[in-house]
Amino acid sequence: MSEYIISIKIEKPEEGGYLATGNTLQGLIAQGRSIAETVEIAQDVARKLIESYVEHGGPLPYEIESSQNVMQDVKIPISVTARRDYHP
């Protein structure tokens, strides 16, 4: 199994939800109700696109990096439901 690092852009359309598009993978579009759901869907779409490149013998876009020994500064979404009855 191989792992790759790709770049996506996430936007919040006026219609609601979130929309992810691929900066390095043409055809990567994913939409979800939350950022986390959108990222999960984008990962699935990216996986299928990369598998298609590999199965058809096409070269991967040069911007896609193998994740071997790659360390990234990653920002992740955290959903919090605040409870007002908590007092430390």
* Gap between the Cα atoms of 35 and 55, Å rounded: 30
What's the pLDDT at 70? 65
Tell me the CATH number at 55: 3.30.160.250
Query: DSSP state, 1?
Result: -
What's the pLDDT at 29? 96
Q: Is residue 80 part of a domain?
A: no
Q: How many domains does the chain have?
A: 1
pTM surpassing 0.85? no
What's the pLDDT at 26? 86
Q: Mean pLDDT of successive 10-residue segments in the chain (88 residues)?
A: 85 95 90 94 93 85 71 72 66
Opening angle at CA 28, ends 22 and 30, nearest 5: 100
Structure tokens at 84: 């007002």
Domain interval for residue 32: 4-65
What's the pLDDT at 85? 65
